[in-house]
Amino acid sequence: MEKRKSARFDVSQDMQGKLLNVVGFVANNISGEGINLVSNFQPVIGSVYKIYLLHSRDNRQQEFDIEINRAEVAVFDSKKYAILPPGLLFSIGAKFRNPSEKQKEFLASFMKKRVNGTDEGFIGTKKIKPGS
């Protein structure tokens, strides 16, 4: 198992989004290097996806390339994952591929407490590169 290079932070509020623009997710924790999501979608380990995170407070959007490095069955928590449709849930670990300083600053803004609103994102179906 690969050891994490940077500290992970719990997200300061609900952070939700969509995988493949269809399947929702909830983010558990985030760092400048990677993100942990819970979703009904089971991606292929080693695949690269495009992810878009959106701040609801000012509609800023940032895209990232992520590489899936872990996908396993998640323990259901009705409080945390009530927004997700019923079914088998997967805990998905992904690392950001070559994040720029601007992207890292955007990620850091998710780690700060927000007064209201939720932060959302989705993984697009374009530029999916299996096994890269």
What was the pLDDT predicted at 114? 43
What was the pLDDT predicted at 8? 64
pTM: predicted TM-score of the whole model, two decimal places: 0.70
Pick the CATH number of 12-126 from 2.60.40.10, 3.50.50.60, 2.40.10.220, 3.40.640.10: 2.40.10.220
The kind and range of the H/E element at 103 are: helix 101-110
pLDDT in tens, 30-48: 888 899 888 888 889 999 8
Q: Provide the token pair at 105.
A: 């600053």
Q: Which residues in the chain show pLDDT less than 70?
A: 1-23, 56-57, 112-132
What was the pLDDT predicted at 116? 44
Q: In the chain, what are the domain boundaries? A: 12-126
What was the pLDDT predicted at 115? 44
